[in-house]
Amino acid sequence: MATVSQQLKGTFSSAKKQFEGFEKKAAKQVALFEKKAKASIGDVKERVDEVPTQLRGAWDQVIGRVRGALDFASNDDLKKLAKKVDELAKSVDKLVRGEKIKSAAKSKSS
């Protein structure tokens, strides 16, 4: 018959082996979880990196719709219009100068 001391040693030894087994299993599970987490983080990072581009595109669409609905001219539209106005003003100046010259010529010849 085993003494109490021997039974305790056997129970302790058995518990120690089970704990070591659990520890190894837990370490493997943690390593596997870390690997999966790192892969997931890479996927999330890629998705997050795409967000600013998606937001820029959505913002441009919203601005285009609002501008169209409110019938505002863009800065580029205003620049083009200003250029055309300047060209027309130059043409009008040339016509006015031409008429003045013709008037002056008629006055001298009379």
- Per the structure block, which two tokens stand in for 99? 């008429």
Task: Measure CA 79 to chain center.
Answer: 29
Q: Which tokens is 91 given?
A: 């043409």
pTM: 0.35
Find how far residue 6's CA is from the centre of its chain: 70
How large a percentage of the chain has pLDDT more than 90?
20
DSSP code per residue over 64-101: HHHHHHHTPPPHHHHHHHHHHHHHHHHHHHHHHHHHHH
Residue reference for tokens 């795409």: 50
Query: pLDDT (tens digit, 9 = 90+) per residue, 55-107?
Result: 888 888 888 887 777 776 778 888 999 999 999 999 988 888 877 777 777 77
